[in-house]
Amino acid sequence: MAGMSNMARRDVESLLHPYTNLKRHEEAGPMIIAHGRGIYLYDDAGREYIDGFAGLWCAALGHGNEELIEAARAQMEKVAFTHLFAHKSNEPAIELAEKLKELAPCPASKVLFCSSGSEANDMQIKLSWYAANARGEPERKKIISRRGAYHGVTVAAGSLTGLSFVQDGFDLPVNERFLYARTPHFYREAEPGEREEEFAARLAAELEEMILREGPETIAMFIAEPVMGAGGVYTPPEGYFPAISRVLEKYGIRFVSDEVICGFGRTGEWFGCQTYGARPTSISMAKALTSAYVPLGAITVEEDIYEALKEESARRGMFGHGFTYTGHPVACAVALKAIEIYERENLPEQVKQKAEVFERRFRTLAEHPLVGDVRAKGLVGAVELVADKATKRSFSPTVGIGARVAALAEEEGLIPRAVAGHNIALCPPLIITEEEIGEMFDRLERALDAAEELARREGWREA
């Protein structure tokens, strides 16, 4: 820990960091963020960074928003906490549930709150199983996710997540009920000469084959992110979600759209499923729901599921699920204010306009020697880094190409995120201006140029 500040040493001695190489952390220590304003973050040495990842896909309104701060303060003065157990309630939870039913892209009977996206997707599983039991369908328990998907890290949500770094070593998936369809990654998974529409049709056919092979009566739920986030920022091929929706509707299978990243304007619509023509029966949400100022997650509950829950709870004496912080009044008050700002500023439409610059700058990166593929929609995108553009050969994992480029970007004053090891993703606050988008990409391009120079000099491609 030589050379670390006192605060950095205290961090190493006391904190366990998620998604971090713990051994290396003891040597390198943390970047300590001291404060933020707008799209900018400042570390404890006073260095400025563009927050190119909105925290973790979530700080949609940037940092230091006074309206959100005041909403939290005002609610704390009224009542800082009350729960929803045993017929208790509070006004912010009621008003937010009403607002989310109004905004939801699918019919919603009720809204169930939690504190995170992981918990939201965990609840989707529990409610699907509970409703199946209530309906006398105990065999309807299998869940179809996708390879490369990210749906959280609890034992159940982590079982939905089709990524080795989430599952390996943790004995996940927890059982054989969890199934994984093909990743809709056109760059890697398409056959030679296959068009996007053909690729999408093939994936829909594969999904139908899986359903028939397992037995439609055994499938409780299908879950998908509109844009696959932590797995690599994979945007779906043309026609994918309409084709998938038709298959699920054909067999009466519940379709959950995981809107934890894409919800509240990220792709240019209120929800990502609207951008891509998906027809879900329920949605999961978190992150931008409060612009990440207070932890909050939620799911919509469709009428037929609610009826099953209601009848089963009557038989058992109660609905035996919920958290201490379900419907937390401060979190709900902040979410109401965030949604008010999204509506007042018409942020989804603003995203559409700024996306022209954002997506164009991503497309220009396709010519860079390190970049094999670019994917972007709205204000979320990624470049896939390759050792050989012609053959699409990836860098050896020992190179750690994503982490290296991310570190070089930080030297340029930009915090992006390396996802799935060899992708560099950007997901800035929705309030970013076109001028700031330009500066963000200028900094990323300088980092990529520096990485290319190091790759030549140090032989990364041959590692």
Tell me how far apart the alpha carbons of residues 82 and 103 are, in angstroms, rounded to a whole number. Answer: 25
Tell me how far apart the alpha carbons of residues 345 and 16 are, in angstroms, rounded to a whole number. Answer: 39
Taking residue 41's Cβ as centre, other Cβ atoms within 10 Å add up to: 23
Rounded to whole angstroms, what are the CA distances from 126 to 71, 156, 189, 201, 376? Answer: 32, 9, 32, 31, 33
- For tokens 């029966």, name the residue: 281
Mean pLDDT, residues 438-448 taken together: 98
Question: In this predicted structure, what is the pLDDT of residue 179?
Answer: 98
Give 7-15 contacts, CB < 8 A, sequence gap 24+: 7/32, 7/44, 8/32
Among residues 407, 402, 408, which one has the least CA distance to residue 450? 408
Question: In this predicted structure, what is the pLDDT of residue 462?
Answer: 87
For residue 142, give the 3-state DSSP assignment: strand
Taking residue 38's Cβ as centre, other Cβ atoms within 10 Å add up to: 17
Tell me how far apart the alpha carbons of residues 253 and 281 are, in angstroms, rounded to a whole number. Answer: 9
Complete domains list, the chain, with CATH: 31-64+346-462 (3.90.1150.10), 67-344 (3.40.640.10)
Q: How confident is the model at residue 81 (pLDDT cuts 50, 70, 90)?
A: very high
- Dihedral of the alpha carbons of 127, 130, 136, 142, in degrees to the nearest 10: 70
Mean pLDDT, residues 334-361 taken together: 98
- For tokens 């709900």, name the residue: 332
DSSP state of 220: E
Question: In this predicted structure, what is the pLDDT of residue 65?
Answer: 98
1 pLDDT above the threshold of 90: no
Question: In this predicted structure, what is the pLDDT of residue 403?
Answer: 95
Q: Which of 205-209, 419-423, 428-432, 451-455 has the lowest mean pLDDT?
A: 419-423
pLDDT per position as a tens digit, 85-110: 999 999 999 999 999 999 999 999 99
Tell me how far apart the alpha carbons of residues 276 and 457 are, in angstroms, rounded to a whole number. Answer: 43
Among residues 313, 334, 356, 349, which one has the least CA distance to residue 113? 334
Question: In this predicted structure, what is the pLDDT of residue 299?
Answer: 98
320 pLDDT above the threshold of 80: yes
Taking residue 459's Cβ as centre, other Cβ atoms within 10 Å add up to: 10
- At 437, list the tokens: 């988008």
Tell me how far apart the alpha carbons of residues 245 and 253 are, in angstroms, rounded to a whole number. Answer: 10
The continuous run of DSSP H or E covering 133 comes out as: helix 117-134
Please report, as a single letter, which amino acid is at residue 32: I
Strand segments, DSSP code E, in 213-296 are 219-224, 254-258, 282-285
- At 456, list the tokens: 């030549």
CB 332 within 8 A of CB 93: yes
Q: What is the mean pLDDT of the chain?
A: 97
Mean pLDDT, residues 279-302 taken together: 98
Q: How confident is the model at residue 421 (pLDDT cuts 50, 70, 90)?
A: confident
- At 460, list the tokens: 């990364």
The continuous run of DSSP H or E covering 21 comes out as: none
Q: How confident is the model at residue 3 (pLDDT cuts 50, 70, 90)?
A: confident
Work out the percent of the chain whose per-residue pLDDT is above 70: 100
Work out the percent of the chain whose per-residue pLDDT is above 90: 98
DSSP β-ladder status, 40-43 and 33-37: antiparallel
Mean pLDDT, residues 407-433 taken together: 97
294 pLDDT above the threshold of 80: yes
Please report, as a single letter, which amino acid is at residue 394: S
Tell me how far apart the alpha carbons of residues 299 and 121 are, in angstroms, rounded to a whole number. Answer: 8
Q: How confident is the model at residue 162 (pLDDT cuts 50, 70, 90)?
A: very high
Mean pLDDT, residues 436-457 taken together: 97
Please report, as a single letter, which amino acid is at residue 80: A
